[in-house]
Structure 1
């Protein structure tokens, strides 16, 4: 059986979390749709289609509810939300208000007309989705408005509908801004590229680029696609998606991301991936997928809102039907019940958490932090310990030749022989030798590798090798030198010819330039760092000292299992964030409270982690952003529940009416939305 095809659509008209639940339920009931996932934050639906053409049936099903299904690539047109109805209702309300002074007998009819015009789109959507959710916000507002008209409160009915429509417009605008925050990365790509061909430079649209094309990027232009530098050197600014304020130098062999800005100089690149499949597109996709995974707070609020609305409705029914039997004044109690109907609207409650999570994920994507779900954003705020892998995480992961210790030949001859052998090896130390400055150019043949021993080749008719020092019996002076270099944290390889040692080469993996500053920032945030490495203590301590770590904060000689057990222990003592980059870090990353992987690491580590980091400098930003987002979530919940609780009490006491109830709902909605949007511009 053929696996279901996954297609992504944009849902127009979906401007609240309650709408998203309704849309998801409808799509799941469509024949031919095996599975449907709808994200209110990104405004997209992910359909797993078993039957060709099932998307057309899905379009018809949503159209009956007042929503439109569009391909994800199509841009929405016009202003979001029911603004035409809000504008029309507001105009009629103003005319009715003026009529109350000029033609008082007609004012009531004017208010009634404004209320009926405004409630029409709400009643239509409530009727279309009644079977799906009889307690929708539209249904509650419709019932309250018609009830107010029935008891002669025409002016209040019109104000209720108008304020609700204005609230929906403001909510839709705020949601559109948050969704735009998710798409802003893709907008960094230029619209054209300068492709190099046999006929010279030609200007082509971005869609024409293919992997393997050569492109020129002049100063002041953005890089059109992910690629590798073939010629030139330039200052490249990546602040828009890494958060790094200063540009970095890129030269031959360096990788650059599509969307980065060439500030000075120019580059010739070989395109590695088409623009629409590049790093920025992957970041945008990961951010959108993250919004499908709900945080614990979202799940709690969803469950609370599903119980809250029926409870308040039951209270409204008791006030309208039971209390008049004991206290009389049926109309007054009916008026209170109508106000309770509006307070029962769960919109502010269900939006309070996902709006903050969406803004946090979007802000993270622009700061070099890729959260894979709201739960990761939420959990990261609570960790107290930080475990960091050494190689590739705190260091560059690219060893550099630090010293040459010749024994039986000159230093220049030793380096030339080593480079000849290194030409046939993919080992990181061999690459470091090839990149080292110094003599080379010797011809070698018969390259071969022996696992656990080293690499060999024939140079000038003799076998020359690069091997582990412990594999050869070294003379005492050379052995003493080797021990001294190892104590300095160096990695060694030995050059041999016909089995005789010729020279020692010492390599060192330099710490990342941003590592010390990042660790200091993490300490300031109250985290306790711990360096984990499989290297010897002698190799780990010099790096730790250079980064400001004490000996007590280093755990050396660890196997992947040792790392896993240590992370498990830290997870029990206040939560731990594990940062790594290699396949051997994957078990610890998966077990940590939150796993974070440096984007330059292996695919295994990135898949196991909860958060991707474009650089180590993004780690403190991830912590600060998670704490800001969690604070916004708490404020949102307090505002939504507090305002509704306050007006619930004042309504029961007879101190507030319909207009105050709708202000409680829409006011809370606007406040939580604006509070969430602050995260999009927060300094992290």
Structure 2
């Protein structure tokens, strides 16, 4: 038996959160579909299929409801939403108005316009009635037929037209949001210039393979992720890093597919296919973020499930019970019909996911990859920012600058150290491997001890690269450690069978943007803290260089110490942990929000809630989180306030049916448009 497959589809016709619920409910009933996730914000359905035949049955279940499953990468054709019915309804309404003005035709022309316009809504409401008897299509249909029954044909026609127009505007706004969210893939060029024997051939992107060499001339975009093997150029990556200035790229530098070569020319070796590259990964993370609801979204969903039945009960009381005591049956029925329209919670349900989707999409184009709506929400509330040192505040590429030996030659010490470093991914181990000098001695049984160092068996003896402060040192070695540490070096001690053989001194370069980033964090009211395993003298030297105060530096920390400190800060108002290494993974996972720089290790990126393409993106992440949370609050306040206002005015008899439907459809359009502001916001 084949294992279940996960398939991703775009759902045509899914223009509101209520639609997403109906689609999910219908797909869950299909035999052979063992898993369903439908996301309104992205407009996609994720199906886990036991067998391919289930797909045909799923399509058959959705077709009567007015939805279609399309390939995820496909684009819709024409305008979104029920625009043909909106045009027809509007045209008939105009003709009815003209006929009434010149021939005094009464309510019949308006009734015809209302019946024609409500036809697709009634059909859709009936087909989905079993799954959702309180859908907006059902409520609008009931309000329309009720208005016709009490002789309010003109208002019925206006209600239907305004609702259809609102559906078109909402669908257009949602389509714009989705297009903006996934616009990154459009940065990839349509062709590539692949090098071959005797010249260059122009090929489509699908023809590229890992290992191909491609030439990227000035003014062209890089076709796939890779490494520069020849040439020098200025490359602009602003579209997905948020950095406005181009970066110089040369031999050995990595480039992203979609980045623009402004000056110069490059030959790039393809490392990842275009459909599997960095841009595709960003889109995947954005989609995953939209599938994970924020706390605000869960609260709003819970409220909306109670809101609609409560307002419907109120409508039944007003239309059926009050006339028994106060008379005026038609007047009370008219008010009840208005309450039916107000009972729809669509604007409220959409208010949060629309803002979250826009925030995630804006973040993707600003170098901030949110993995969930909850992470986007939580980041706005933290007070402390804990930062790792190596690879986060520094370039993470320390170089070996000095070797002090004790009883062995420098060549022997380097050969032993390189043997141990072969099995470690630590930045200092990488610097040892890249240092000039003798080749590494053969080694085996590599292992790492957290908080202590890396070990291996070299020439039959255990050799280690360890933290000097974690080792029992002879006086002469301790004196050298103190002297080198006061100069600001990062140190590693080479030991064999427990005996110190050499001190290796490293120097790392602070990131150029580190000082400005820390200043930005302070302007945002955040308190930065440096957490590092380095000695205090080395940490203070770096901290002073980038503008940190001594009380903001915590040095000599093991991974366990980092974890404990992060737990303490999480209980004192929330902490965002920024790191890039394996030893940061526990602290990243425990922090209120974990952020990992994209240049870091896979373990750090997996443990983090947010990915940063550069350290400069860190303040943007906080600004965007706060801005998004502000838009969420505006949307919720607007949706609830508008519903509450018109509920009162309808009960008091000041507003009628067309105002009620305008409030509902108008609120949908406005909260979506307000959310779309995030896509153009400056962060």
Length-normalised TM-score, structure 1: 0.91
Tell me how far apart the structure 2 counterparts of residues 562 and 40 of structure 1 sit (CA, whole Å): 42
1:644/1:479 Cα in 2 relative to 1: closer, same or farther (>3 Å)? closer
Instruction: Tell me the equivalent position of 1:580.
Output: 579
Alignment map for 1:509-658 (pairs within 5 Å):
509-658=508-657
Deviation at 1:199, TM superposition (A): 3.0
SS of the residue 1:135 aligns to: coil
Alignment map for 1:664-683 (pairs within 5 Å):
664-683=663-682
Tell me how far apart the structure 2 counterparts of residues 565 and 506 of structure 1 sit (CA, whole Å): 29
* 8 Å CA contact retained: 1:227, 1:257: yes
Instruction: Tell me the equivalent position of 2:24.
Output: 24
* 8 Å CA contact retained: 1:414, 1:495: no
1:391/1:417 Cα in 2 relative to 1: closer, same or farther (>3 Å)? closer
1:117/1:516 Cα in 2 relative to 1: closer, same or farther (>3 Å)? same
Tell me how far apart the structure 1 counterparts of residues 303 and 508 of structure 2 sit (CA, whole Å): 53
* 8 Å CA contact retained: 2:415, 2:441: no
1:62 aligns with 2:62: yes
Deviation at 1:488, TM superposition (A): 2.2
1:4/1:618 Cα in 2 relative to 1: closer, same or farther (>3 Å)? same
Instruction: Tell me the equivalent position of 2:103.
Output: 103
Deviation at 1:566, TM superposition (A): 1.1
Tell me how far apart the structure 2 counterparts of residues 222 and 359 of structure 1 sit (CA, whole Å): 26
1:323 aligns with 2:322: yes
Greater displacement, 107-116 / 634-643: 107-116
Tell me how far apart the structure 2 counterparts of residues 11 and 445 of structure 1 sit (CA, whole Å): 57
Tell me how far apart the structure 2 counterparts of residues 444 and 70 of structure 1 sit (CA, whole Å): 57
Tell me how far apart the structure 1 counterparts of residues 166 and 596 of structure 2 sit (CA, whole Å): 41
1:422/1:563 Cα in 2 relative to 1: closer, same or farther (>3 Å)? closer
Tell me how far apart the structure 1 counterparts of residues 123 and 455 of structure 2 sit (CA, whole Å): 76
Deviation at 1:138, TM superposition (A): 0.3
SS of the residue 1:291 aligns to: helix
CA offsets per residue over residues 326-381 of structure 1, 9 Å max, x none?
11111111111111101111111111111101100111111111111111111111
Runs of 5+ consecutive residues of structure 2 not aligned to the other structure? 447-452
Instruction: Tell me the equivalent position of 2:85.
Output: 85
Instruction: Tell me the equivalent position of 2:265.
Output: 266
SS of the residue 1:600 aligns to: coil
1:162/1:567 Cα in 2 relative to 1: closer, same or farther (>3 Å)? same
1:62/1:549 Cα in 2 relative to 1: closer, same or farther (>3 Å)? same
* 8 Å CA contact retained: 1:12, 1:76: yes
Tell me how far apart the structure 2 counterparts of residues 603 and 446 of structure 1 sit (CA, whole Å): 28
Deviation at 1:573, TM superposition (A): 1.1
Tell me how far apart the structure 2 counterparts of residues 445 and 598 of structure 1 sit (CA, whole Å): 30
Deviation at 1:7, TM superposition (A): 0.3
1:399/1:419 Cα in 2 relative to 1: closer, same or farther (>3 Å)? farther
Tell me how far apart the structure 1 counterparts of residues 252 and 246 of structure 2 sit (CA, whole Å): 18
1:661 aligns with 2:660: yes
Cα RMSD (Å): 3.0
CA offsets per residue over residues 439-486 of structure 1, 9 Å max, x none?
x7x77685558967999999xxxxxx997897999996x986653222
1:115/1:415 Cα in 2 relative to 1: closer, same or farther (>3 Å)? farther
1:142/1:454 Cα in 2 relative to 1: closer, same or farther (>3 Å)? closer
Tell me how far apart the structure 1 counterparts of residues 378 and 136 of structure 2 sit (CA, whole Å): 31
1:8/1:430 Cα in 2 relative to 1: closer, same or farther (>3 Å)? closer
1:501/1:343 Cα in 2 relative to 1: closer, same or farther (>3 Å)? closer
Tell me how far apart the structure 1 counterparts of residues 57 and 501 of structure 2 sit (CA, whole Å): 76
Tell me how far apart the structure 2 counterparts of residues 350 and 495 of structure 1 sit (CA, whole Å): 61
Greater displacement, 193-202 / 282-291: 193-202
CA offsets per residue over residues 178-218 of structure 1, 9 Å max, x none?
11122111111111111112232111100011111111111
Alignment map for 1:244-643 (pairs within 5 Å):
244-402=243-401, 426=422, 428-429=427-428, 432=431, 447-448=442-443, 483-492=482-491, 506-643=505-642
SS of the residue 1:304 aligns to: helix
Instruction: Tell me the equivalent position of 1:177.
Output: 176
* 8 Å CA contact retained: 2:493, 2:503: yes
SS of the residue 1:252 aligns to: coil
Deviation at 1:489, TM superposition (A): 2.3
* 8 Å CA contact retained: 1:455, 1:467: no
Instruction: Tell me the equivalent position of 1:462.
Output: none
CA offsets per residue over residues 536-589 of structure 1, 9 Å max, x none?
112211111112111111111212221111111111111111111112211111
Tell me how far apart the structure 2 counterparts of residues 682 and 415 of structure 1 sit (CA, whole Å): 57
Tell me how far apart the structure 1 counterparts of residues 500 and 137 of structure 2 sit (CA, whole Å): 84
1:617/1:446 Cα in 2 relative to 1: closer, same or farther (>3 Å)? closer
Instruction: Tell me the equivalent position of 1:13.
Output: 13
1:416/1:241 Cα in 2 relative to 1: closer, same or farther (>3 Å)? farther
* 8 Å CA contact retained: 1:234, 1:267: yes
CA offsets per residue over residues 610-639 of structure 1, 9 Å max, x none?
111111111110100010110000010111
1:539/1:101 Cα in 2 relative to 1: closer, same or farther (>3 Å)? same
Deviation at 1:52, TM superposition (A): 2.5
Tell me how far apart the structure 2 counterparts of residues 150 and 232 of structure 1 sit (CA, whole Å): 78
Length-normalised TM-score, structure 2: 0.91
Tell me how far apart the structure 1 counterparts of residues 207 and 659 of structure 2 sit (CA, whole Å): 57
Tell me how far apart the structure 1 counterparts of residues 163 and 505 of structure 2 sit (CA, whole Å): 72
* 8 Å CA contact retained: 2:417, 2:432: no
Instruction: Tell me the equivalent position of 1:46.
Output: 46
Tell me how far apart the structure 2 counterparts of residues 126 and 68 of structure 1 sit (CA, whole Å): 17
Deviation at 1:391, TM superposition (A): 1.4
SS of the residue 1:315 aligns to: helix
Runs of 5+ consecutive residues of structure 1 not aligned to the other structure? 459-464
SS of the residue 2:565 aligns to: helix
CA offsets per residue over residues 27-57 of structure 1, 9 Å max, x none?
1111111110000000000001112221111
Tell me how far apart the structure 1 counterparts of residues 454 and 329 of structure 2 sit (CA, whole Å): 94
Deviation at 1:414, TM superposition (A): 7.2
Greater displacement, 183-192 / 479-488: 479-488
1:306/1:543 Cα in 2 relative to 1: closer, same or farther (>3 Å)? same
Tell me how far apart the structure 1 counterparts of residues 112 and 245 of structure 2 sit (CA, whole Å): 60
SS of the residue 1:397 aligns to: coil
* 8 Å CA contact retained: 1:447, 1:455: no
Instruction: Tell me the equivalent position of 2:450.
Output: none
Instruction: Tell me the equivalent position of 1:138.
Output: 137
* 8 Å CA contact retained: 2:420, 2:464: no
Tell me how far apart the structure 1 counterparts of residues 401 and 466 of structure 2 sit (CA, whole Å): 17
